[in-house]
Structure 1
């Protein structure tokens, strides 16, 4: 789940409110986490249920919003069987550990290893209070939101102190793992594939923002997962929040997320706007440059990618100099410039001046159509990658697996 790096004094995180049709209120944990969740259910109507009832009839051909969750409730015994007693570790992070599991494709019952379908099973650390709230958020949002660009949640388990989530398995792992790996024996991710991925991710965010209902809050390369055909799906909804309502422009929360991606207005005030996600999308400046959003191994003044390169985005003649030198013959100069201009718009300081994600999708689709033009100038001129050797001054991703939905950093 997301890393909390902001001050607790900046606002207060609004309490998550959940419907009794979604999170079980009996037979769960006996600790304070369970009593808190039960209290929320018994005292409040689900905000998400109310929101869904308002928009479920609206047309959106690219996705669906369900009135009630369509999830399988697993027993812990089933989880042990599906994972062969948690034998195959895929990843580990702040939330807990992620294991490979096998389920029958039709019944979702545990199956033998190597048969049925592979799934990723995330197991909560029992001492993680924040993880419990994020587990609830995952169930609520991914249990009711269905879109080709959102990772599919198949079910969950809540038994005594055990909390688990069961996801579809994403064979190619995360965009982060592919974008920043430095194995000379492996070709770098192509510009065509990068565009395909960011378009898919943008479509996912546009769906979440539909009628300004959901703010994702943790958009970054490690949360964009890839299937076998490099189709992008947004994962990890532990920090997602309902957007503003009743004429409000924002919601106020405790600052949480990942350094280098969070919007400046959110960091400064705890005010979270729908277009705060658009700023995070702009940080996919990483896709253009092949450089991480934040890297302490870079020289002083260049460690935060946006602070370093945002001024360059405003100069058309310098656009090609910020592109990843490893893919320089794969795009047209016009495509590079349009991508830089769009990125700069997403990174506007005032959220009102940022485009909507629908507009971002449309702009990216135009850039993709231009990508068929081959660049005439293949010379290297002043690439930003010349400041250090090796080029990026960093190691590959620290995640253990490139083929999983992982726990947090």
Structure 2
């Protein structure tokens, strides 16, 4: 009985039901493991590093941080260090305000330091070759024997120069340096003091990272193309930003990184909006971004553009980051669509230092919402301007997606230069990799100094001569005529800085006011106005007299003493955009005179003011007469005449000026109408000189107005006259359809007028979107010829678009057809119509070429009496 009792307590055979449950739970367990392996939700899984050297230098014992990491003391790591002489230094606590890139949990590492009086090296053996973090901590601890703020030293990682002649002069700040290097075998960290100085270090990290963290290829921004040499470089982390979110400390990062908030680096003027979701909802694709690329906390927060923003200028999201010039940079952008609804789309552009990095269709790239994605860009050292990198996201001009752009994270890493250094052009062995030897450089400096000295003496001589010819009353004017000076003699460009354009006038031109004005009149700038004259003309620049506002400032309606109405453009002294636009406008208008271009009457340069005076266009911009106001609607004939006038103005710019000019901002608000509804092109602030005979295009940063922008120019940044032609094609459809060129409130396919009109035309439905005020009055032949010209203007590639002379021909022909309809009896349909002469693309003085006889029976019926009247029609 006793034995039977014990057997009952022992193992028993499985029943069928037990076996079923066992296999069921085994299946669930493996399914869970499989899902985890796919990485769909993983966010904070820490990488198991084969190499993990954490050293608290100078500390007598190990230091455990709040983030869970343990830094060994120098005593435990003594076998790694080779030095002849070193000193320990320590403080009880650190009460300094650290930057947001240094988490508070790291503060204990700054309490101790190792001071090296001679060359010293940490030799750390690498268990697994590949990418490794090297993180260095510096704080000049007060020491009775050694003032660490005087320490000057270099730090090398093998043949890589991490720091050259480095020092920490501020004893109130903590310094953290982070590098990413590809090593094998061992890492030798050498600290080399300058002669009669010493080196120090507070803490060191050398930690493995996954090889997948850095791919070999990236998108090159300047020049555009592919960059396939990332694995040959080393990197220094300059910025690691959690966009739209709080600081992320090493505890919450998969590779013990710190991500700081982006607030102090963004330059959002308006239209930005923060977004966030639960990190648990973030997914990682099978190929691409992984939890090691960035933790889900990064992808779970973002900044994006509000849907209500409709203009490209206002929709850009901008981050400005100061960097060292002379280096190339790896820029990594992290994206995750956490703002779209189901089937939503995000299609936007990335600009780096005002250059197009690429257009991203995020929905297509990720195939799902809340899915991590990143994109690497390389910015060449020659593209670093003003010691900064500007990253911008903007809504795509092609409008293939919704009006939104998003960024979740931003990393900027300096790439080692030709000296394999992050700090100058000296290599680890002391050789110099600059463009020449020091002696050669000194000779160049001396030669440059001599040239500058001679130039300075010549400049002083010119100043003296001009001073002798100063105008009467110069001391009362507080003038700054120097901003007009480059037009006075040669063809040199305007002064290059805002400050120089604000200097008081040094040069007069005549000794009388009339002579002064006459001098500038000969330069094409018209009459000189005193500031008091323009104050009186505008009732002391009364806000009620404002008729327009732009980046330059405001435009006022003024009345001169003789009763002439003028438009007075007063520059905003604080607007850099305004200064640049003023310079361009003066340069252009001083060379241009045409019936269909707004004329410059004069200027004022007193009391640090930049004021230009133009003829007043009493009927204002063309757009106000088409839609958006209570003004009477224009007839179809009036619209044709206005378009012909604008086309003639643009044709003159492209072919008739001494040097061809590209307007670059053609739109209905820049086509003004006088009292007789004669159209004149205005606003030359963005204009550019056209390419010369040996050039095919002008390379320039993309500027223009959203909706009118040539997509080819937008993609390539190559500007030609055909970019104006595209914009004018948009204007033609805007005049025909009387609606906004961009209307986000409409269905997606109708948002862009250019795309919608072309689509309707291909489907034979264009009549349905024509302005109802004129739809019934348009002759079918006139409409056909008009749309034919507009359609050619909107060709995808500039080489397929006509010149403005051909566009003008189509418009004049459309006007003839319309006038013929209103004057000819409908039953006579056997006449022939003579098309207007095509203006030559190389001569804007008037029509040229032979007349073309066109059979057009289906479009117009012309009787013999009218035939002679319209045969020589030239348009208005």
If the TM-score is normalised by the length of the shorter chain, which range does it land in?
0.7 to 0.9
Are the counterparts in 1 of residues 355 and 701 from structure 2 also a CA contact under 8 Å? yes
What's the C-alpha RMSD, in Å, of the aligned pairs?
A: 3.0
Q: Which residue in the other structure is 2:668 paired with?
A: 221
Residues 165 and 3 from structure 1, CA distance in 2 versus in 1: closer, same or farther, beyond 3 angstroms? Answer: farther
Deviation at 1:293, TM superposition (A): 0.9
- Answering whether residue 455 of structure 2 is matched by residue 10 of structure 1, we say no
CA distance in 1, matches of 2:499, 2:803: 38
Q: For structure 2, list consecutive stretches of 5 or more residues without a partner in the other structure.
A: 1-311, 317-348, 357-382, 384-482, 504-520, 827-876
What pairs up with 1:118-197 in 2 under 5 angstroms? 118-181=565-628, 183=630, 187-197=632-642
Deviation at 1:18, TM superposition (A): 8.2
CA distance in 1, matches of 2:502, 2:698: 21
Deviation at 1:20, TM superposition (A): 2.1
- Answering whether residue 762 of structure 2 is matched by residue 314 of structure 1, we say yes
Are the counterparts in 2 of residues 345 and 355 from structure 1 also a CA contact under 8 Å? yes
Q: Which residue in the other structure is 1:295 paired with?
A: 743
Q: Which residue in the other structure is 1:100 paired with?
A: 557
Residue 498 of structure 2 aligns to a residue whose secondary structure is helix
Deviation at 1:235, TM superposition (A): 0.6
Q: Which residue in the other structure is 2:380 paired with?
A: none
Q: 1:29-60 CA deviation, whole Å, 9 max, x = no partner?
A: 9x94142799xxxxxxxxxxxxxxxxxxxxxx
Residues 243 and 139 from structure 1, CA distance in 2 versus in 1: closer, same or farther, beyond 3 angstroms? Answer: same
Of 141-150 and 302-311, more deviation after overlay is shown by 302-311
CA distance in 1, matches of 2:489, 2:773: 47
Bigger Cα Rg: 2
Aligned residues: 327
Deviation at 1:167, TM superposition (A): 0.7
Residues 205 and 3 from structure 1, CA distance in 2 versus in 1: closer, same or farther, beyond 3 angstroms? Answer: farther
CA distance in 1, matches of 2:624, 2:717: 30
Q: 1:390-409 CA deviation, whole Å, 9 max, x = no partner?
A: xxxxxxxxxxxxxxxxxxxx
Residues 256 and 305 from structure 1, CA distance in 2 versus in 1: closer, same or farther, beyond 3 angstroms? Answer: same
- Answering whether residue 810 of structure 2 is matched by residue 369 of structure 1, we say no
Are the counterparts in 2 of residues 153 and 165 from structure 1 also a CA contact under 8 Å? yes
What pairs up with 1:4-403 in 2 under 5 angstroms? 7=351, 8-10=353-355, 20-22=486-488, 32-35=497-500, 68-87=523-542, 88-103=545-560, 111=561, 115-181=562-628, 183=630, 187-210=632-655, 213-284=660-731, 285-315=733-763, 317-372=764-819, 373=821
Q: 1:290-329 CA deviation, whole Å, 9 max, x = no partner?
A: 11111223232211111222122335x3332332122112
Deviation at 1:22, TM superposition (A): 4.5
CA distance in 2, matches of 1:128, 1:99: 18
Residues 366 and 162 from structure 1, CA distance in 2 versus in 1: closer, same or farther, beyond 3 angstroms? Answer: same
Residue 618 of structure 2 aligns to a residue whose secondary structure is coil
TM-score relative to the length of structure 1: 0.73
Are the counterparts in 2 of residues 175 and 224 from structure 1 also a CA contact under 8 Å? yes
Residue 228 of structure 1 aligns to a residue whose secondary structure is coil
Residues 244 and 218 from structure 1, CA distance in 2 versus in 1: closer, same or farther, beyond 3 angstroms? Answer: same
Residue 487 of structure 2 aligns to a residue whose secondary structure is coil
Q: For structure 1, list consecutive stretches of 5 or more residues without a partner in the other structure.
A: 39-65, 104-110, 377-409
CA distance in 2, matches of 1:257, 1:19: 28
Residues 23 and 79 from structure 1, CA distance in 2 versus in 1: closer, same or farther, beyond 3 angstroms? Answer: farther
Q: 1:312-356 CA deviation, whole Å, 9 max, x = no partner?
A: 2335x3332332122112111111122111111000011011111
CA distance in 2, matches of 1:164, 1:179: 30
Higher helix share: 1
TM-score relative to the length of structure 2: 0.35
Deviation at 1:246, TM superposition (A): 4.3
Residue 33 of structure 1 aligns to a residue whose secondary structure is coil
CA distance in 2, matches of 1:95, 1:118: 21
Residues 226 and 22 from structure 1, CA distance in 2 versus in 1: closer, same or farther, beyond 3 angstroms? Answer: farther
Are the counterparts in 2 of residues 69 and 140 from structure 1 also a CA contact under 8 Å? no
Residues 201 and 93 from structure 1, CA distance in 2 versus in 1: closer, same or farther, beyond 3 angstroms? Answer: same
CA distance in 2, matches of 1:21, 1:327: 47
Q: 1:138-181 CA deviation, whole Å, 9 max, x = no partner?
A: 11111220000000111122334311111111110000111113
Of 249-258 and 333-342, more deviation after overlay is shown by 333-342
Deviation at 1:240, TM superposition (A): 0.6
Residues 357 and 261 from structure 1, CA distance in 2 versus in 1: closer, same or farther, beyond 3 angstroms? Answer: same
